[in-house]
Amino acid sequence: MKYNDIVKSHPTVLVDFYADWCGPCKMMAPVFKELKTIMGEGLKIVKINTEKNQQLSAKINIRSIPTMILYKNGKIVWQQPGAMPLQALKDKINSFA
C-alpha cells in the first residue's frame, strides 16, 4: 500500500517515523500501545522505519527521529520530532478532533 493511500485509509492517522536503534523511538513504543488502547478505532497508528524507507523519509523531509505526523482526512494537521508523554500526545490529537 502506498503512503498516500495509508494516510487516507482512516479519518485520523498518526504516523511514527522511527529507527530500531533510536532510544527515544523505543521509549515511544509503550506510549503508542497505550494510546491505541485509549483511542481504539478512532485512531490509526502507522510506524515507518526510516532506514527501510529512506526515499519516503527524504521525500517527507524527516530530519530527526522519532517524528510524528498527524493526518486528518488525508491532510497533515500536526508534525513534531521527538518523544512525548502519553497525555500530551493524546491531548494534541484530541485538539484536532
Q: Mind telling me the catalytic residues? A: 22, 25
Q: Which residues of 54-74 are buried (b: 16+ CB within 10 A; e: fewer)?
A: eeebeebebeebbbbbbbbee
Q: What is the rounded CA–CA span in Å between residue 45 and residue 81?
A: 16
Nearest to 31 by CA among 19, 48, 14: 14
